[in-house]
Structure 1
Amino acid sequence: MKTILILTSKDVPQFKAEPLQELHAEMANNGYEVIYPDSREDLIKLIEQNPRVASVVFDWDDFGLELCAQISELNEKLPLFGFANQNIVLDVNLADLRLNLSFFEYHMGQAEDVFAKIRQGVEAYVDEIMPPFTKALFKYVDENKYTFCTPGHLGGSAFLKSPVGSIFYDFYGPNTFKADVSVSMPELGSLLDHSGPHKEAEEYIAKVFNATSSYIVTNGTSTANKIVGMFAAPSGSTIMVDRNCHKSLTHLMMMSNVTPIYFRPSRNAYGILGGIPKSEFTREVIEQKIAATPNASWPTYAVVTNSTYDGLLYNTEWIKKTLDVKHMHFDSAWVPYTNFHKMYQGKYGMSGATVPGKVVYETQSTHKLLAAFSQASMIHIKGEVDHETFNESFMMHTSTSPQYGIVASTEIAAAMMKGNSGRRLIQNSVERALNFRKEIKKLRAESTGWFFDVWQPEGIEEADCWPLKPEDAWHGFKNLDADHMYLDPIKVTILTPGMSKNGTLEDSGIPASIVSKYLDENGIVVEKTGPYNLLFLFSIGIDKSKSLKLLRTLTAFKRAYDQNMKVKNILPGLYAENPSFYGEMRIQELAQGIHDLMRKFKLPDMMYHAFEVLPQQEMTPHQAFTKVLNDETEEVYVEELVGRTNANMILPYPPGVPLVLPGEMITEESVAVLDFLLMLIEIGKHYPGFDTDIHGAYKQDDGRYKVKVLKK
């Protein structure tokens, strides 16, 4: 971090130029890069685009307090040094400003002293922005100690004793291995008892994320969810679970002897996951569910997915006040950035103040939409808990040998979000997503024939969490509550032709799975593919070039489709899976064939009905899993599921939420669930390469699927 920006006016008088030249030479001799912006605007752009800028030196005579304020909006910690004529009056009260600003006068022969002060400022800046655990880890690596403990590669040296190990070492680089250390290092503290720099890191994270306390989890939000649930829902208790939950919460119910009752969210014809209606959070409805569920009592713990996979956020302040449950858990794996933009206020778990008598938890996948290593996750808590007992649950699910690189990346993700620079990162993401949405709408208006659309309110101009209003048609959800659900602009859902806004299938269409395969062939990976929709996440790592690449590739698909190219030319990877089937087939024939299958199965009606009636709960997931462990299961074909108690969860991707849970039985009333599964299987059977990944269903040699059920 050794880049210094020096800003002066165009015509610098000699008495100023000479001291600056001396200073430049001193900086260069000490390994610093010096850049001279052309203007104030150029300087601001350089700071925006180059996070390695360590300081700004400028002429106070020409650029004063206004420039400092502009820089502070980008990075309030960046050290600023103003050079001034010795006769100037500094008409600024620094005590009233939160600016890291120092002054020098123009004098010859003082470059060494001036540079020493600048270097001190840069070093103090780096020290201040570095969070505590990462700082301690870097210090440990710099000390280069000899260790006689785990891990066995000993800072990477073991890899260098083997040819293949050397290749591995060279790929990742030395610091990766030097920072992979044992829990035996007392100067780094412990993640398991939250001591030393680990404790400081979690306190730092809690402050950044507006939490009472926070925990770093090194094996994902799947584990974070189970840690919270194991603590908040003791054996024998009743819990309330979002039916569109992540499978980790189903695993929690399989591990722990709890009785679940379910929040019932909606879906629209596109298969987009909707929200839980307000009525589901009321005491009256909860009492009805308890009365209908054997052995159920008032729940101690409730978990809500916020945001949904498709970017719908709840009015969490209303839920926190209304839901009469002590332990309230928001599974916010997909939105770790909500605390850093004002438009999310009141729409995430840690928003606002503590709620008397309640504890709110928010689990976040730091790695998903912030900058951290895979498996980096956080648990945030608002309210008071018994931390010793909570830590027992934490340790049940956490390795005694955590990966310190993941710990450091989690902390760095928090540090990146701190202050103005963090808010700017999220603002930039929001703006890029909004601009992309506008470009799709513009291309749609200009295109001959069809083009892609965006799932969003009509006529949007400004970025916001757009409300889903009951009277609007664009969202496709029935019986919505007002002031309850909001669309996150960062999550962009592109619609393909084939389904009208009222949720009916048109005569022709382009299933999104075909577009998804084309994008993948061209180096673009889609987050989620539905029947006629594609989800893209505009995280802080998305820049203009990636956004333009996506636009160009979508436009290229339209051209190829309109020209009715052969499948082997437009989708060579798909063709390679089954050349005899795809042979001379053209893209429009493929699209229409899959679309006709969707029409045959009446997809929109199926999307509504498959989730209207839940399968019948015969026993709890824990009881069912106990029978599985005791080998009290057998296999049947999927089409024979009606009337049988399921042994495992059945979970199709997309969207990746459980459809049938262990211990549940599909009955004639809930047979639409089975019809939905059979439709997914049928498409894969007709069109090679379009199989749906169905967790809990096993493809046989004859192409049919079997599932495990409990023996009668």
Structure 2
Amino acid sequence: MNILVELIKAGSFYKDAPITSLNNALKNRGFEVVYASDEKDLLEIVENNARVGAVILDWDAASTCLFEKINAFNDYLPICAFTNNNAVTDASLADLKINIEFFEYDLSAAEDQALTIQQLVEHYVDAITPPLTKALFKFVDQGKYTFCTPGHMSGTAYQKSPIGTLFYDFFGPNTFKADVSVSVGELGSLLDHTGPHGEAEKFIAKTFNADRSYIVTNGTSTANKIVGLYSAPSGSTVLIDRNCHKSLTHLLMMSNVTPIYLRPTRNAYGILGGIPKKEFMHETIEARVKDTPGATWPVHAVVTNSTYDGLFYNCDWIKYNLDVKSIHFDSAWVPYTNFNPIYKGLCGMSGGAVPGKVIYETQSTHKLLAAFSQASMIHVKGNINEATFNEAFMMHTSTSPMYAITASTETAAAMMRGNVGRRQIDESIDRAIRFRKEIKRLKEESDTWFFDVWQPENIGSKECWELKPEDSWHGFRNIDGDHMFLDPIKVTLLTPGMTKTGEMAERGIPASIVSKYLDDRGIIAEKTGPYNLLFLFSMGIDNTKAMGLLRALCDFRRDYDRNLPIKRAIPSLYQQNPEFYEHVTLQDLAQGIHALIKQHNLPDLMFRAFEVLPSMVMKPYDAFQLELNGQVEECYLEDMIGKVNANMILPYPPGVPLVMPGEMLTEESRPVLDFLLMLCEIGAHYPGFETDIHGAYPQKDGRYTVKVIKTESTK
């Protein structure tokens, strides 16, 4: 924070000489002084340079609103105002609430003023640096010599090896100096939640409106298991979102609990819809308990919020209407919801506690905030036994956590604090809405075709858009009002080939082709469906990246209309199988895959594949125990009907289970198998378009096998 921005109007010795002396004194202290030409220039410098440590202004020349604008952007940033002798009487009460330090134009006071400004900057840095990060910085600066783990000893070991030296130089010295042992007492303990680690978790809880927060260093996959292990004792029954993340399926395989699935909807595009309100009702759950062998009234529920595709629930309604002791909102993809009013009531930590219930929210800090991979958080609202919860926490947490991950989690929270954080989320929403409108504009202006956006027509104000039963844009059948809302920063683009209500067109452009085209141009989509691509407009997406995506989409349309050969349009795909793609063009490829999808009647298949669940023959836990004891065998995917599956089966994207361990596909649930076989067929016909299917294993003959429970073990 060694950059200072200055706006002092020149023109009189009375002001020029003291300011020149001050600037020289500041430069001697290592500061770089940047001069703004006017108020607009100053605001742009402050807003676009996070390294600014203070602003120096002329009180007489600056407008009153300038101070308010600086404070509205960053309420921690110090402002130094040089004044006339009447400054005290000029300042209003509102001015004095802003972080302003007053100075007089005094030629002999330059050194004292420079020292004061330095102290203000140091205080600013101290104020914005959270406790664990501050302690870690201090420890590294002290350069202590330890005889502890890790063995690289602040990077010394790496510098004794040629490849180690390259590795060390790539990451830089502070990465290794901050990689320290749990033996370093002054940093506290992540496992005991003491010292700076404990202070960091208190800081995070306050920032995210939680009663208690935990830093998790192995991602939300681990955070989900911690919450589930504590909340659902062995022998209990849990309600679980059928579109859950696979980490929750792994929880079911690890814990001896009985699942009852909350069944969401899907539309023809394969976009994951919400769980209807009736699934949360007491009478529905009561009927499911009666129909599920060994089930009792559920003690715990897990709901994915938001869905992969950006759909939020009216969480307040679920909190008060779902009759369980605790509710876990798996919010891996939306750690930013506490920092903008459009998400009020739509997230786990929104609002106050619910009497008699515990509300959990797990968030992947690294996904859409600024943190290292694997950084995650558990937020709790309500009363838990912290000692017992911590046992579950420690069962899944390394005794040697990486301090860089924990500090990055805390720093991500600190970045959200105050006006700076709120502004960053606000700008992400604005940028996403502008991008959506630009896509719509280009589509309207196109003389051939262009991409569309999955959203309500004529979007206007900044909000999460409700999915209304009477609207057709979303493509969901029989949905509830005031229940599901679309997050503006999750932008789903639609390619030609299918209408929003599920009718197949004669010609189409499967989204997987567009995804590969973009990938060759350095742009990676978050998720690719049959005719839709998901892009996340997180804080790290700036106008340059947004315009780059827009340009690449326009380039694809041009190259598709020109019917460019694959060799030129998607070189990486051509390189995978030059013989196959030698004479194939973009339109050939699009029509070939589109014909296969149309042949399988994908829209109808999408609805039927998720309408009837496979039959649960045994609990996931029991199925995995049989696998551990070798009571499994392999069969071809197409021969699964009537056999009990040993592992979950889930295609990427979107990465949610279609078949759970212990479930059996029957003739009634055959559409699930037909959907999987369609994915395999596309990969078999077109090299490079194979689908990654967890739990299905490709064989040399091109077919897939799955693990099933041996017949004698199911009796």
Structure 1 gap segments, 5+ residues each: none
2:407 corresponds to:
408
Larger displacement relative to structure 2 (355-364 or 38-47): 38-47
SS at match of 2:669: helix
Partner of 1:12: 11
- One-letter amino acid of the structure 2 residue matched with residue 282 of structure 1: M
Cα deviations by residue, 1:122-147 (Å, 9 ceiling, x for unpaired): 00000010000000001000111110
Hey, what's the Cα distance between the residues in 2 that align with 1:416 and 1:98?
A: 22
Deviations 1:336-377 (A, max 9, x none): 000000000000000000000000000000000000000000
- What one-letter code is carried by the residue in structure 1 that aligns with 2:204? I
Matches within 5 A, 1:536-575: 536-575=535-574
1:240-265 deviation digits (Å, cap 9, x = unpaired): 00000000000000000000000010
SS of the residue 2:678 aligns to: helix
Other structure's SS at 1:626 match: helix
Q: Does the CA contact (< 8 Å) of 1:651 and 1:657 recur in 2? A: yes
In the other structure, the counterpart of 1:705 is 704
Shift of 1:298: 0.6
1:219 matched to 2:218? The reply is yes
Q: CA deviation at 1:222?
A: 0.1
- The answer (yes or no) to whether the contact 2:464–2:488 under 8 Å persists in 1 is yes
Q: Summarize the alignment of residues 326-365 of structure 1 with structure 2, pairs less than 5 Å apart.
A: 326-365=325-364
Counterpart-to-counterpart distance in 1, 2:45 and 2:502 = 48
What is the DSSP-based 3-state SS (H/G/I as helix, E as strand, rest coil) of the residue aligned with 2:33? strand
Q: Aligned letter for 2:233? A: P
Please report how far the alpha carbon of residue 94 of structure 1 lies from its aligned counterpart in structure 2 after TM superposition: 4.7
Partner SS for 2:226? helix
Q: How does 1:677-692 map to 2 (within 5 A)?
A: 677-692=676-691
Corresponding residue for residue 118 of structure 2: 119
Q: Map 1:244-393 onto structure 2 (within 5 A).
A: 244-393=243-392
Q: What is the TM-score with the length of structure 1 in the denominator?
A: 0.99
- Kindly tell me: are residues 694 and 88 of structure 1, through their superposed partners in 2, closer, same or farther at Cα, counting changes over 3 Å? closer
Q: Say if 1:266 and 1:477, in contact at 8 Å, map to a contact too.
A: yes
For residues 273-310 of structure 1, the C-alpha deviation after alignment (integer angstroms, 9 at most, x for no partner) is 00000111110100011011001011111000000000
The letter for the 1-side match of 2:166 is I
Q: Quote the Cα distance in structure 2 between the aligned partners of 1:386 and 1:433.
A: 41
Q: Is the 8 A contact 2:304 2:330 kept in 1?
A: yes
**d(CA) in 2 for partners of 1:709 and 1:207?**
48
| Conservation of the 8 A alpha-carbon contact between 1:86 and 1:106 | no
Q: Distance in 2 between matches of 1:291 and 1:544?
A: 55
Tell me whether 1:477 sits opposite 2:476 in the alignment. yes
Distance in 1 between the 2:12 and 2:424 partners?
Answer: 38
Mapped contact 1:625–1:647 kept (Cα < 8 A): yes
Relative to structure 1, the CA distance from residue 526 to residue 90 in structure 2 (aligned partners, 3 Å threshold; closer, same or farther) is: same
Partner Cα distance (2:574, 2:359) in 1: 50
Task: Provide the residue aligned with 2:90 in structure 1.
Answer: 91
**Residue type of the partner of 1:545?**
T
Shift of 1:64: 4.9
> What does residue 589 of structure 1 align with?
588
Question: Residue type of the partner of 1:214?
Answer: S
Is the Cα–Cα contact under 8 Å of residues 268 and 500 in structure 2 kept in the other structure?
no
* 1:453 equivalent in alignment to 2:481: no
Asked if residue 56 in structure 1 is aligned to residue 35 in structure 2, the reply is no
Please state whether the residue corresponding to 1:35 is helix, strand or coil. strand
Deviation at 1:87, TM superposition (A): 3.8
User: 1: CA distance between counterparts of 2:129 and 2:278?
Assistant: 46
5 Å-filtered alignment, 1:539-688, equals 539-688=538-687
Task: Indicate the residue corresponding to 1:2 in structure 2.
Answer: 2
1:92 counterpart letter in structure 2: A
8 Å CA contact retained: 1:76, 1:98 = no
Distance in 2, matches of 1:581 and 1:470, equals 46
Structure 1 CA distance for aligned equivalents of residues 707 and 367 of structure 2: 32
Give the Cα–Cα distance (whole angstroms) in 1 for the partners of residues 133 and 111 of structure 2: 32
Please tell me the residue identity of whatever aligns with 2:52: V
Q: Deviations over 1:587-643 (max 9, x none)?
A: 101100000001100000000000000000000000000000000001000110000
Whole-angstrom CA distance in 1 between matches of 2:71 and 2:150: 43
- Opposite residue 3 of structure 2, the aligned amino acid is T
Residue 350 of structure 1 contacts residue 362 of structure 1 at CA under 8 Å; is this kept in 2? yes
Give the counterpart letter for 2:277 in structure 1.
Answer: K
Letter matched to residue 189 of structure 1: G
2: CA distance, partners of 1:120 / 1:571? 56
Residue equivalent to 2:463: 464
Rounded Cα–Cα distance in structure 2 between residues aligned with 1:528 and 1:87? 61
- SS, match of residue 668 in structure 2: helix
1:3 partner amino acid: I
Q: Distance in 2 between matches of 1:68 and 1:479?
A: 52
How far the C-alpha of 1:548 sits from its partner, in A, is: 0.6
Partner of 1:146: 145
Partners of 2:163 and 2:170 lie apart in 1 by 11
Offset of 1:461 from its aligned partner? 2.2
| Counterparts of 1:354 and 1:12, CA distance in 2 | 60
* Deviation, structure 1 residue 464: 1.1
Cα deviation for residue 93 of structure 1 reads 4.6
User: Could you tell me which residue of structure 1 aligns to residue 693 of structure 2?
Assistant: 694
CA distances 1:102-138 after superposition (whole Å, capped 9, x unpaired): 1011111211011111111000000010000000001
Residue deviations 1:199-242, cap 9 Å, x none?
Answer: 00000000000000000000000000000000000000000000
User: Is the partner of 1:464 in helix, strand or coil?
Assistant: coil
Q: For 1:35 and 1:281, how far apart are their aligned partners in 2?
A: 58
Structure 2 gaps of 5+ residues are none
2:186 corresponds in structure 1 to 187
Paired AA for residue 167 in structure 2: F
CA distance in 2, matches of 1:541, 1:400: 32
Could you tell me how far apart the structure 2 residues matched to 1:7 and 1:94 are?
23
Shift of residue 65, structure 1, vs aligned partner: 3.7
Shift of 1:96: 8.1
Using the alignment, how far apart are the partners of 2:21 and 2:282 within structure 1?
75
CA distance in 1, matches of 2:364, 2:601: 36
How far the C-alpha of 1:2 sits from its partner, in A, is 0.5
- 1:462 deviates by 2.3
Deviation at 1:89, TM superposition (A): 4.7
Shift of 1:7: 1.1
Contact 1:270–1:532 under 8 Å retained in 2: yes
Q: Which runs of 4+ in 1 moved over 4 A?
A: 93-97
Q: Is the 8 A contact 1:77 1:99 kept in 2?
A: no
In the TM superposition, residue 72 of structure 1 has moved relative to its aligned partner by 0.9
Output the CA distance in 1 between the equivalents of 2:364 and 2:26: 42
* AA in 2 matched with 1:144: G
CA shift, 1:88, in A, is 4.1
Separation in 2, partners of 1:381, 1:690: 42
* TM-score between the two structures when normalised by the length of structure 2: 0.99
Report the Cα offset of residue 503 of structure 1.
1.1
Secondary structure of 2:298's aligned partner: coil
Deviations 1:629-671 (A, max 9, x none): 0000010001100000000000100110000000000001101
Displacement of 1:392 in angstroms is 0.2
Equivalent residues of 2:67, 2:95 under 8 A apart: no
SS at match of 1:668: coil
CA distance in 2, matches of 1:350, 1:298: 25
Letter in 2 for 1:615: P
**Matches of 1:2 and 1:98 in 2, distance apart?**
25
Map 1:153-232; keep pairs closer than 5 Å.
153-232=152-231
Matched residues in 1 for 2:266 and 2:390: separation? 37
Could you tell me which residue of structure 1 aligns to residue 69 of structure 2? Answer: 70
Aligned residue number for residue 496 of structure 2: 497
Q: Distance in 2 between matches of 1:581 and 1:117?
A: 71
How many residues are matched? 711
Deviations 1:32-68 (A, max 9, x none): 1111111111111111100111001101112254222
